[in-house]
């Protein structure tokens, strides 16, 4: 099993300068490959003869720069094969270095990097297993982080339980599940919008290239970083809540791009909330936690989950403002999001081998579900 642990790093000034120099050398190699359309690491020996300063960087680091370009090109080709409109890779500044298998040594809370030096890291938790790779990164908020990729020989055992839940991701709140648990939308961007506007307004008044503008840019970046940290904290708590309590988790396979780019006036004003919710990241958080815990995650087609009646299957179009599902055929009345969550679980359960008719029969004898609001800072939502 592979583990990724992230730690805060505190390099001294000389080590920091050597790291920035290494970033500049990696940037040169990356842009040279893009300019000449050469994406093989076999070009590095000849390139080092022409530019001896490249020898100041560990050889595997430069090789990983070329390998990352190849991986990006493969991803673009895969997207193009699916009919997506893609551009080309652009030249940019590199802000990270990747040490693969060699060139590093971790002793206590001290990390020594080849041709860089020693730096202190905040070892907040022990590194599991054997270290295979180390990535050091500099953020726009002028902070240093070290990501340690390690491997352990153990493999998760698949769960044998039968606790199942369906989760509907919606615009009214963040999520609603079949047990009636509702997670409210944290609205991290909205809460920080006023501070961000003020900081950006002040930065726009600074002279380009001045020291004051660079300092203000860091302040703006730290506000963005705080929003991202709050979002990740909420998503980790949310995903951990379900992975710890259920053996089968059913989610929608949402396509976010059409929802954000929709010309529908009803959705256009909610694009910020959709992006702030980060539904794709939430789905990936649940998937990787479930893989480590041996829990099953099923992605279902979200089409008509809010329009179909859970009991009789009657399909009736609903306006976005209509938050209650009331079936004119069977009279089943429930919250719109709860009906969608039940449909998601039913579709996933059919894939598990349970006949759809049996599920409907079981649900007709189930008492009404009590909707429970779960605050974001609820104590029983465990942290990662």
pLDDT at 240 exceeding the cut of 90: yes
| Selected residue with higher pLDDT from 265 and 215 | 215
Q: How many CB atoms lie within 10 A of CB 112?
A: 13
Q: Give pLDDT, residue 61.
A: 93
Confidence of residue 371 (pLDDT cuts 50, 70, 90): very low
Return mean pLDDT, the chain: 85
Report pLDDT digits (tens) over 321-356: 788 888 888 888 888 888 889 999 888 876 554 433
pLDDT band at 374 (very low <50, low <70, confident <90, very high): very low
Task: Give the pLDDT score at 380.
Answer: 36
Higher pLDDT, 144 or 101: 144
- Summarize the confidence of residues 222-232 as an average pLDDT: 93
> Which residues does residue 117 pair with via DSSP β-bridges, in sequence order?
113
Average pLDDT of span 201-222: 94
Query: 94 pLDDT band (50/70/90 cuts)?
Result: very high
Q: Is 248 a residue whose pLDDT tops 60? A: yes
pLDDT of residue 266: 58
Letter string b/e over residues 119-144, b meaning 16 or more CB atoms within 10 A of that residue's CB: bebebeeeeeeebebbbbbbbebeeb
Residue 310 confidence class, pLDDT cut points 50, 70, 90: confident
Instruction: Tell me the per-residue pLDDT of 99-141, one tens digit each, with 9 for 90 and over.
Output: 988 899 999 899 999 999 999 999 988 998 899 999 999 999 9
Expressed in angstroms, the distance from the first to the final Cα of the chain is 18
Residue 307 has what pLDDT?
87
**Residue 76 scores a pLDDT above 80:** yes
Name the residue with higher pLDDT: 270 or 114: 114
> Cα angle vertex 134, ends 99, 42, to 5°?
20
- Total-model pTM: 0.81
Name 19's Cβ contacts closer than 8 Å, sequence gap at least 6.
11, 97, 116, 136, 138, 144
pLDDT of residue 159: 81
High-pLDDT (> 70) share of the chain, %: 89
């Amino acid at each position: 099993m592979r583990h990724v642990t992230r730690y805060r790093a505190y390099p001294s000034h000389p080590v920091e300068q050597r790291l920035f120099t290494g970033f500049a050398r990696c940037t040169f190699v990356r842009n040279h490959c893009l300019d000449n359309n050469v994406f093989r690491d076999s070009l590095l020996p000849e390139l080092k003869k022409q530019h001896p300063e490249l020898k100041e960087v560990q050889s595997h680091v430069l090789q990983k720069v070329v390998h990352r370009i190849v991986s990006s090109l493969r991803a673009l080709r895969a997207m193009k094969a699916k009919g997506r409109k893609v551009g080309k890779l652009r030249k940019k500044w590199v802000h990270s270095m990747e040490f693969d298998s060699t060139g590093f040594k971790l002793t206590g809370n001290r990390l020594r990097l080849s041709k860089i030096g020693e730096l202190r890291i905040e070892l907040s938790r022990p590194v599991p297993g054997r270290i295979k790779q180390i990535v050091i990164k500099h953020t726009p908020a002028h902070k240093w982080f070290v990501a340690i990729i390690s491997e352990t020989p153990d493999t998760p055992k698949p769960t044998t339980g039968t606790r199942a839940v369906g989760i509907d991701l919606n615009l009214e709140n963040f999520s609603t599940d079949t047990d009636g648990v509702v997670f409210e939308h944290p609205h991290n961007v909205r809460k920080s919008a006023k501070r961000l506007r003020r900081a950006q307004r002040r930065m726009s008044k600074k002279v380009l290239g001045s020291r004051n503008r660079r300092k203000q840019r860091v302040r703006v970046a730290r506000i963005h970083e705080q929003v991202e940290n709050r979002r990740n904290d909420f998503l980790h708590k949310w995903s951990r809540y379900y992975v710890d309590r259920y053996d089968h988790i059913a989610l929608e396979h949402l396509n976010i791009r059409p929802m954000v780019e929709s010309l529908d006036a009803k959705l256009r004003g909610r694009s910020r909330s959709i992006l702030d919710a980060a539904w794709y990241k939430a789905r990936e958080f649940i998937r990787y936690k479930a893989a480590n815990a041996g829990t099953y995650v099923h992605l279902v087609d979200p089409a008509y989950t809010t329009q179909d009646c859970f009991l009789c299957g009657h399909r009736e179009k609903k306006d976005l403002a209509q938050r209650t599902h009331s079936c004119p055929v069977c009279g089943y009345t429930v919250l719109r999001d709860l009906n969608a969550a039940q449909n998601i679980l039913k579709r996933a359960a059919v894939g598990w081998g349970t006949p759809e008719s049996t599920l409907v029969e079981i649900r007709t004898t189930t008492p009404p579900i009590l909707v429970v609001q779960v605050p974001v800072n609820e104590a029983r939502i465990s942290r990662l």
